[in-house]
Chains A and B, each alone.
Chain A
Amino acid sequence: DIQMTQSPSSLSASVGDRVTITCQASQDISNYLNWYQQKPGKAPKLLIYDASNLETGVPSRFSGSGSGTDFTFTISSLQPEDIATYYCQQYDNLLPLFGQGTKLEIK
């Protein structure tokens, strides 16, 4: 079974900072990775699909990169409304698996 390791589990940053979250797969999953944002009490929201494609309507400060086993999610300039928990999700074997999540807080 493919294992996903997302890091860090929590992160504190200042408004305007560049924020990076990583997700590592235990084996090659090509580009089969999506990223979600979840605000407290709300359903997750799809931000990035297929590793680097921005979902329609999502601000361009969000981006994703990587392939194979190592993936990165970046917020280029952190905004107060970006406070949330972020999840990666792989789908290499048609069985979706979410990462453990990264809780992002404002410093």
Chain B
Amino acid sequence: QLQLQESGPGLVKPSETLSLTCTVSGGSISSSSYYWGWIRQPPGKGLEWIGSIYYSGSTYYNPSLKSRVTISVDTSKNQFSLKLSSVTAADTAVYYCARVVWTFMSFDYWGQGTLVTVSS
């Protein structure tokens, strides 16, 4: 059974860089049929797609976040990572990693999510 697990600091200071890693187990991140993505959800609000990456390193980003986002992949560790720079309180959210079925751009497996709070 495929499992995804987010990890990283739960508290980040304003203007600093948020860094999270998603570890994939029970399957290979190098599968040709899938991308891997990050989605966030501010407390009490809806879902926002951040970006997605293929095992080759090809990326797609949400245009509204593109200038601050970097997503990378480490196939040797079966992990992919998110960096979001110059964070503000508006970036406080639960951050999810997920597998993307490319044909339908559907998110079929999700991590449990991790709350990241931006505060001094």
Contact = CB atoms under 8 A, between A and B. Distances in A.
B72 to A, nearest CB: 19
18 contacts: A32-B105, A34-B106, A42-B112, A43-B96, A43-B98, A43-B111, A43-B113, A46-B106, A49-B101, A50-B106, A53-B104, A89-B105, A91-B105, A91-B106, A98-B46, A98-B47, A100-B46, A101-B46
Contacts of B47: 36, 38, 44, 87, 89, 98, 101
Interface string B12-41: 000000000000000000000000010000
A97 interface: yes
B96 to A, nearest CB: 6
Nearest to A97: B49
Interface of A: 32, 34, 36, 38, 42-46, 49-50, 53, 55, 87, 89, 91, 94-101
B108 A55 contact: yes
Contacts of B49: 95-98
A46 B46 contact: no
B105 A96 contact: yes
A91 B98 CA distance: 15
B48 interface: yes
B110 interface: yes
Contacts of A99: 46
Nearest to A45: B110
Contacts of B96: 43-44
A97 B82 CA distance: 19
